[in-house]
Amino acid sequence: MACTNSSELGSTVSHIAVIALGLVLLPIAYVLIRMAKGGTRAERLGDLVDFLKEHPRDVGALGMVFGLPCTVLLVYLEAPSFLVATLTSLLVCSLLIALVRGLYRVSYHLAGVTCLIIMSAALWGPVLFTAVIIIPLIVWARYLLREHTFNQMMTGSVLGVVVCVVALYSFGLM
């Protein structure tokens, strides 16, 4: 979907800026500040990941604190429904995973990637379902890293499918 005029380009840039600020830059700044207050500093990307592993509740909180206003802002800016539906489904996955995290360790990686593949395929057509090859690669990587059991990874994928289908129906996109 290409931008055909400057107003569409400006709109697209504003949507990308909202997402980058709300879902990347502000959460990273928050983690860096928390690490500095704790007496550590990030010298590599892995340090940020390690911090989030040590503070799993922060992942869900970050999603809600930064993701929810980001979604509301996108609605205000009249972002395309698919974009809002995708962000909403990722936020719902984050919230559900955060809620069950103490009882069961669902794979957020697989829930998120599955969501993105389904939403992309819904937008750009079934040809994009060839991207499903990414899922087994992530399963293999997470297994090699001993981050999850097979059942935890499959639960993540199933959660991603269910949440996306509900989001697509809720937004009238399916």
Report the alpha-carbon distance of residue 116 to residue 163 in Å, rounded: 11
* H or E element at residue 79: none
Q: Where are the domains of the chain?
A: 1-79, 81-174
Q: Do residues 28 and 67 lie in contact, with contact meaning Cβ atoms separated by under 8 Å?
A: no
Question: Would you state the structure tokens that stand for residue 47, as one six-digit string?
Answer: 């340090």
Global confidence as pTM: 0.80
Q: How distant, in Å, are the alpha carbons of 6, 8, 13, 86 from that of 3?
A: 8, 6, 10, 20
For each of the chain's 174 residues, which pLDDT tens digit applies?
444 455 677 787 888 888 888 888 888 888 888 888 877 777 776 777 777 777 767 766 777 788 889 999 999 999 999 899 999 999 899 888 888 877 888 888 899 899 988 888 888 877 666 777 888 888 888 888 888 899 999 999 999 999 999 999 999 988
What is the dihedral sign for C-alpha 150, 168, 25, 28?
negative
Report the alpha-carbon distance of residue 164 to residue 157 in Å, rounded: 11
